[in-house]
Amino acid sequence: MKPRKLYSLALSRALSRALTSSTTPSQCAFPLKTVTVANFEPSLEELRHHVRSSDFVAIDLEMTGVTSSPWRESFEFDRSDVRYLKIRDSASRFAVVQFGVCPFRWDSSNQSFVAYPYNFYVFPRQELAGFGPCNEFLCQTTSINFLAKYQFDFNAFIHEGISYLSREQEKEAIRSLNSMHDSECSNISKLNDVRDLPSINMADILFTERMKNKFSEWRDGLLQEQSQPNQIQGTRKDSKQRFDVIFFKKHPALKLDGFTSRQLKLVQLVIKKHFKDLSYIKVNNAGSSSQQIVVYTDSEEELNLLLKEVNEENHRAKKMKIQAAVGFRHVIDLLSSEQKLIVGHNCFLDIAHVYNKFIGHLPGTPEEFVASVNKCFPHIVDTKLLMNTDNMLQVRMKKSRNSLGSAFSMFCPQIAAGSKSTELVSPSHVKIDVEVDDSRLSSWNPGGKHEAGYDAFMTGCIFAQLCCDLGVDFKLHESLKLATNEKLQKYINHLYLSWMHGDIIDLSTGDKVANSSPSYSPKRRYPNILFENIVIIWGFPSNVKSSDVRECISKVFGLTSVVSVYQLDATAVFVQFSKTEQVSDFLSLKENLERSNGPISVLHPLAKLLDGGNTCAANYDTYKEICGSPLSQDLFADQANAVTMTPKSKLIEFKVALRSEEHENPSLQDNVNDVAVNFVEKIKPNSIDQLRNVQSTGQASPFEIEDSRVAEANL
């Protein structure tokens, strides 16, 4: 009943939307196919066709948020693996609300690209009992507000968003279904198992008696006059309860309708107690509703045969249900199986979301992640990287903001303006038409809504233009294989792990690539970040500023000991020492001071920092561990305390124990992975971070940095 209601609601909404859109002039807005539950099936088929014939597919995602707490934002003190852990945290906590897919096809007859923008509303609704896409998701208030600013339709998202199951979840659901099926097959008689109702009242007894009469009447009728099975048994007109005489798999049967669950239980009891040749069967249809049927069978064998058949059918119906619950993932499977070139804009986080929502849990290291992504999507290209690594293109960007919107109006002014006017169309500009529902358009009003489908379209346009600028000749379409085009080769499968640092990761090899562009100049204020020289301090008194921290530590370790102090949030700072051994010196000194309560510790220069007794300090590996934790606290100090409270070594033993039981616990597994990564890290130094440090030599003295930071904090 419920799904039908939902469907009708969705239908009415779709209708009303269609009506409102038809009243407004068609040229008004950017043409875009909006897909919800109501029109998912046909749109998927259509999209399948478009993707197959496309040259590349641009994607874009809208999420409910980016960072779960202020300290999980991107910092300059984040090593690439820490950066990945932050992205993993973001992708596993937030939900995708909209998924834009836009296949682009080169139309050689028109010498232009045709784009098919699709805008999918996605909502992690639980379609299967026990196997939902997720139990809860996080919303970042600012992100929700941002979506609201662009009139995002939250009702469409929640009412009509398409649900999904990841590959992992589907496997899990099928496994549990099969094991249930097996156990049911082994004792088929259990299907008819009824437990007594706890309390039976007068109404129940009356009802039971009535049912007993009804069934015996019907059965006797069957036995005596085989010719009149169609006679409808005196159903009261005013009652909702109905018995429809049907044939169920060539057996005479009664279909029960309009009974409450308690009444059905009573019916079950009556049948079990009083009728040997009747049996109560629950049939799951391919649709969502299940049917209750009372069947007459001649013999036990016949009954068993029937039950087996029903069981098989129910099993099949459930499998169909799982298939249906896969929902939006069919789109991802399509993109993956067609192996088309996927185009995104600054899309590492997007890819992480795609992986987490539709493939499985995110692995613990960037290398593992990249390897599994490469298996699903062999060709990915990032327009932001393309714009920023190529010298020529960068000159065109003129160091302007490279947000998607500004890049779009920069590279594709004629499309951004949406006009057909020929003055803007210069030969160097790629022509792009939009086709929605078989009607092709090349002009529309500028300034599309900030929607995933439009963003995907913009990304695709930028990519097409960039290809053109790089000298890719679309006219030689027979040989147009963008994914293997040598002019694009050095960009394909390279993604920014962190835009801020310019860290690039190669998806096909898992290697980190240094930014080769000489003109690339990330705004870096902290040269020479040596992660092994870093101590993280949290939980100090709230009146201690980062300048105080520097002062305290400088008094003990010398004026030049502290290279930089970086405020993580109100409760924590990074301190980079000039020498690695000072890290352990500082940690042991702190421990000693805390142990002794004498006057020395009170007068010690560090006393100010340790005042209050809650100050904690740890090295960089602990910071990584804290970032990788599934816990989430708003303040770093709270998070750090929560994480460091549980001993890690225990978890490994526990995990081993769990594995033997074949239990799967993602969060735990992740933790163990983190520990494992810690070990790897010690053996293999992080190449990219070294590269970074070699690249930049200190231009500013540490003190200047410190001051500018403080000044900024005071603003």
- Residues of this chain that bind other proteins (CB under 8 A): 2, 5-6, 64-65, 68-70, 95, 123-126, 132-142, 144-145, 148, 153-155, 157-159, 183, 634, 642, 645-647, 650-651, 654, 661, 665, 714-715
Q: Nearest distance from residue 570's CB to other proteins, in Å?
A: 11
CB of 126 to other proteins, least distance (A): 5
For 122, list phi and psi in degrees, rounded to 5: -120, 135
Token pair for 651: 């978890």
User: Toward other proteins, which CB reaches closer, 127 or 706?
Assistant: 127
Q: How far is the CB of 659 from other proteins (least distance, A)?
A: 12
Q: At closest approach, how far in Å is the CB of 543 from other proteins? A: 12
**What burial class does residue 476 get, using C-beta atoms within 10 Å of its C-beta: 0-12 exposed, 13-18 middle, 19+ buried?**
exposed
Nearer to other proteins (CB atom), residue 580 or residue 641: 641
Q: Please identify, using beta-carbon distances, which residue of 204 and 277 lies nearer to other proteins.
A: 204
Nearer to other proteins, 213 or 667 (CB): 667
Specify the residue, 74 or 578, whose C-beta has the smaller distance to other proteins: 74
Of 8 and 391, which CB lies nearer to other proteins in the complex structure? 8
361 DSSP assignment: P
CB of 628 to other proteins, least distance (A): 16
**Cα 84 from Cα 276, distance rounded (Å):** 65
What single letter denotes the amino acid at residue 198?
A: P
**In the complex, minimum distance from the CB of residue 87 to other proteins, in angstroms, rounded to a whole number:** 16
Q: How far is the CB of 41 from other proteins (least distance, A)?
A: 20
**Tokens standing for 627?**
């970032």
Residue 529 makes CB contacts below 8 A (sequence gap 6+) with 76, 77, 576, 689, 692, 693
CA distance 91 to 351: 9
Q: Hey, is 484 helix, strand or coil?
A: helix
Least separation in angstroms between CB 154 and other proteins: 4
* Identity of the residue, 123 or 369, whose beta carbon is nearer to other proteins in the bound complex: 123
CA distance 101 to 637: 41
CB-wise, 192 or 291, nearer to other proteins?
192
- In angstroms, the CA 222 to CA 576 distance is 90
Structure token digits, residue 539: 């939980």
- Residue 149 Cβ vs other proteins, minimum distance, rounded to whole Å: 9
Q: Which two tokens stand for residue 413?
A: 């002014």
Q: What are phi and psi of 507, to 5 degrees?
A: -65, -30
**What's the closest the beta carbon of residue 127 comes to other proteins, in angstroms?**
10
**Cβ neighbours, 10 Å, residue 445:** 13
Six-digit token pair at 490?
Answer: 């050095």
Nearer to other proteins, 646 or 708 (CB): 646
Report strand pairing: 112-115 vs 432-436: parallel
Cα–Cα distances in angstroms (integers) from residue 700 to residues 35, 199, 524, 577, 645, in the given order: 53, 82, 10, 16, 39
97 within 8 A of 63, measured Cβ to Cβ: yes
Residue 587's contacts (CB-CB under 8 Å, 6 or more residues apart) are 535, 617, 618, 619
Straight-line distance from the first to the last Cα atom of the chain, in angstroms, rounded to the nearest whole number: 59
**In this complex, which beta carbon is closest to other proteins, that of residue 520 or of residue 654?**
654
Helix, strand, or coil here: 195? coil
CB contact at 8 A, 99 and 328 = yes
d(Cα 575, Cα 584) in Å, to the nearest integer? Answer: 13
- Minimal distance in Å, beta carbon 10 to other proteins? 11
Residue with smaller CB distance to other proteins, 399 or 650: 650
Q: Alpha-carbon torsion 577, 578, 579, 582, what sign?
A: negative
C-beta closer to other proteins: residue 183 or 406: 183
DSSP code, position 561: S
DSSP assigned state of 646: S
User: Between 567 and 578, whose beta carbon lies closer to other proteins?
Assistant: 567
DSSP string, 13-79: HHHHHHHHHHHS-TTSS---EEE-GGGHHHHHHHHHHHHHT-SEEEEEEEES-S-SSGGGS--TT--
Instruction: Give Cα separations from 157 to 29, 37, 99, 115 (angstroms).
Output: 20, 10, 11, 24
Q: What is the DSSP string of 604-620?
A: STTHHHHTTS--EEEEH
Taking the complex as a whole, how short is the minimal distance between the CB of residue 410 and other proteins, in angstroms? 29
Give the angle subtended at the CA of 383 by the CAs of 380 and 388, to the nearest 5°: 125
DSSP H/E element including 380: strand 380-382
Q: How far apart are CA 590 and CA 609, in angstroms?
A: 10
Residue located via tokens 């027979």: 478
Q: Least distance from C-beta 654 to other proteins, angstroms?
A: 6
User: CA torsion sign, 351 to 355 to 361 to 367?
Assistant: negative
CB of 192 to other proteins, least distance (A): 17
The owner of tokens 């998701």 is 137
Question: What contacts 237, CB < 8 A, 6 or more positions away?
Answer: none
CB-CB contact of 539 with 504 (8 Å): no
Residue number, 164 or 531, with CB nearest to other proteins? 164
Query: Please, what is the minimum distance in Å from the beta carbon of residue 348 to other proteins?
Result: 21
Q: How far is the CB of 704 from other proteins (least distance, A)?
A: 22
What minimum distance in Å lies between the beta carbon of 95 and other proteins? 8
The SS3 of residue 557 is: helix
**Residue whose CB is less far from other proteins, 162 or 385:** 162
Kindly state the smallest distance separating residue 625's Cβ from other proteins, in Å: 15
